Structure 1
Amino acid sequence: MSPRLTRRALLAAPPALFIPGRASAASGVETFDIGNGRGAEWRISLARPEGLAPPGGHPCLWLLDGNAMFPVALRARQAAGAEGVALIGIGHPGEDRPDLARRFLELTPPTLPESFGGRRGESPPETGGRADFLAFLDTVLRPELDRRLPLDPGRRTLFGHSLGALLGLHVLFSRPEMFEAYALADPSIWWNRRSILDEQAAFLAGMRLAGGRAARPLRILISISGRAGQAAAVARMGPPNGRETAAALAAVPGMRVGFRDMVEETHGTMIPPVVADALRLAAGRSPEEIAAG
């Protein structure tokens, strides 16, 4: 990856909290690398919950961008009242920043080169690997986690920030049964000329054809930051954004939706509070209650 691409990648990555270091064994955390038999492996961080598993298994919180987000969640779990929630960080081998080239590939749809705008002769990053990544999560990682500890299949929560939240919306619109709850922060709706809104429209149209109601109850929490920053970034990440998506989903019976407008936070400083919110959601609190503060 070129130095120019690395600088650009930070615009779509969590900019402030790539935290080095791993939790100690005494904290109940284990890490392991696992792949799908093709190419590079993923680094998985697993924090077991306190106490015995309830009859249906532990609730769990899956954290995309695990190199950055898992340590934040681990530190916040007790204060958030989520000691009984298993934490699963999905990242890349290495203790510092995630592999940004893989992040672009795994979290995005196929993206037209012209969608990246003027790049001064740079080659755009490889994109469009989200289907393979989701297949890994569902057919490789999920069975491995179930082998390691009892998890409740009806209480899985997905957390994503930025491009991770964009992927979360894609999961919600294409295979909502994968997770029961979604905590999505500053979703990159602007990506690929807002093609995710086409997926949203198809999802809502299919919902109407199926009777206008979600097949099973879903809990969704969408947060956006105040988007302070350079004018170009503000214009790119401006509306339509998570506000409009939350409003559209809230109109669907069977979906419980909360929306937080974090006007005092930036794209980076919002990370600790939204991770804490995701923990509360995974622990069973309603998105409306969390959004209300």
Structure 2
Amino acid sequence: MQRLFLINLFAFLLLTACQANSSKFNPLVIQNVSVERFHSKYIGDYKITIYSPNKPIPKDGWPIIYLLDGDSYFLTANNILTTQTCERCIIQDGIIVAIDYFGESRRALDDLPKPEVYTLEVLPNKEINFPKQYGGADAFFSFISQELKPAMEKRFAINPHKQSIFGHSYGGLFALYCFFTKPPVFNTYVVSSPSLWFSGGYLFDTLDQFIKNPNSHVLKQPTNLLISVGGSEQSLSEVEKSLSKIKQEELLKHRQNRKMVDSITKLFEKLKQANISNLRLSYVVYPNQTHKTSAMIALQDGIQIGFQR
């Protein structure tokens, strides 16, 4: 009996070792992808994940997309390009540059602008939502426009008319802030569920200044601005209706306070009425999608616009 036990124990240990070795020596490898540390003289180090096609360079150069919160969206963007590009496909292959961090995230600092007076948000549980750090959006834009983009354009043959940026939530707010306040350095801005509730709707003041500025109404080249939001971001999804009544009430109150759908619709209407020359403006409400799920659909739509043949 003892001998049988030892044999079984040996077999178990051998199988475990094989599984460990299999896992150890067969990591997931994504072709044509590199992960690099990029140092910014403005605000420290960034984790930059890059996909570049191993194919002949197109005559006009590669389209490129910069992803904010890059670790969350790189694999989806990479999958779109590697499975949906072909001679008869809507989109062509191109470059992905995903921006993120080694260690602790600085997304609130980087994505959020600095209002002269910050308006606090009171959550349904009476707690105050106040980011530990914010106000670095101008420096973050300088990093992207003056350091990262030139480095990518030096390394790769980039199509100057097919450069995109994608941002969701805080990232969507940042992309809009840049569009309203900075020289246009992208041809396509993919704005997914922007956090317009930030500081009591601060970005609407920025929008009003943008509209009042006559120079804002003339874009030198056609520019795509795709704004989107999930249809359930101001209500409850069908799955959430199975939660406890207390949880449902808390979620619903929080979402109705932020008014994501109403606010983003209002922003779109203001932009539409401004009738900005060369602006290709579009707005999509994704039915039954939440704040989290809407981002992936927006990314798909954004790539189809920015990487269109």
Which bracket does the TM-score occupy, shorter chain normalised? Answer: 0.7 to 0.9
How far off is 1:113 after superposition? Answer: 5.4
Q: How does 1:9-24 map to 2 (within 5 A)?
A: none
User: Which residue number in structure 2 is paired with residue 43 of structure 1?
Assistant: 47
Mind listing any 5+ residue stretches in structure 2 that lack a counterpart? 1-26, 86-90, 237-250
Question: TM (normalized to structure 1)?
Answer: 0.79
Structure 2 residue 87 is the aligned partner of structure 1 residue 87: no
Contact 1:159-1:183 at 8 Å conserved across structures: yes
Provide the aligned length of Structure 1 versus Structure 2: 256
Mind listing any 5+ residue stretches in structure 1 that lack a counterpart? 1-22, 286-293
User: Which residue number in structure 1 is paired with residue 222 of structure 2?
Assistant: 217
Q: How does 1:23-34 map to 2 (within 5 A)?
A: 26-34=30-38
Contact 2:169-2:194 at 8 Å conserved across structures: yes
User: Which residue number in structure 2 is paired with residue 143 of structure 1?
Assistant: 150
Evaluate the alpha carbon distance shift between residue 152 and residue 182 of structure 1 in structure 2; reply closer, same or farther with a 3 A threshold: same
Q: How does 1:43-62 map to 2 (within 5 A)?
A: 43-62=47-66
Q: Partners of 2:28 and 2:306 in 1: how far apart?
A: 23
Cα deviation digits, residues 147-203 of structure 1 (max 9, x gap)? 321112221111010010000001111124210111111011111111111111111
User: Which residue number in structure 1 is paired with residue 15 of structure 2?
Assistant: none
Deviates more, 1:252-261 or 1:79-88: 79-88
Structure 2 residue 90 is the aligned partner of structure 1 residue 64: no
Equivalent position amino acid for 2:198 in 1: W
User: Which residue number in structure 2 is paired with residue 235 of structure 1?
Assistant: 256
Question: TM (normalized to structure 2)?
Answer: 0.75
Equivalent position amino acid for 1:233 in 2: H
Evaluate the alpha carbon distance shift between residue 200 and residue 114 of structure 1 in structure 2; reply closer, same or farther with a 3 A threshold: closer
Q: Partners of 2:42 and 2:276 in 1: how far apart?
A: 39
How far off is 1:80 after superposition? Answer: 4.2
Structure 2 residue 291 is the aligned partner of structure 1 residue 283: no
Contact 2:118-2:199 at 8 Å conserved across structures: no
Q: Partners of 1:113 and 1:225 in 2: how far apart?
A: 27
Contact 2:46-2:102 at 8 Å conserved across structures: yes
SS of 2:174's equivalent?
helix
Alpha-carbon RMSD: 2.4
Between the two proteins, what is the percent identity of the paired residues?
Answer: 21
Structure 2 residue 138 is the aligned partner of structure 1 residue 116: no
Contact 2:50-2:96 at 8 Å conserved across structures: yes
User: Which residue number in structure 2 is paired with residue 270 of structure 1?
Assistant: 294
Evaluate the alpha carbon distance shift between residue 30 and residue 246 of structure 1 in structure 2; reply closer, same or farther with a 3 A threshold: same
Equivalent position amino acid for 1:89 in 2: A
How far off is 1:240 after superposition? Answer: 4.2
Q: Mark the structure with the bigger radius of gyration.
A: 2
Evaluate the alpha carbon distance shift between residue 178 and residue 24 of structure 1 in structure 2; reply closer, same or farther with a 3 A threshold: farther
Q: Which residue, out of 198, 202, 219, partners 1:195?
A: 202
Structure 2 residue 109 is the aligned partner of structure 1 residue 105: yes
Equivalent position amino acid for 1:195 in 2: Y
Contact 2:193-2:295 at 8 Å conserved across structures: no
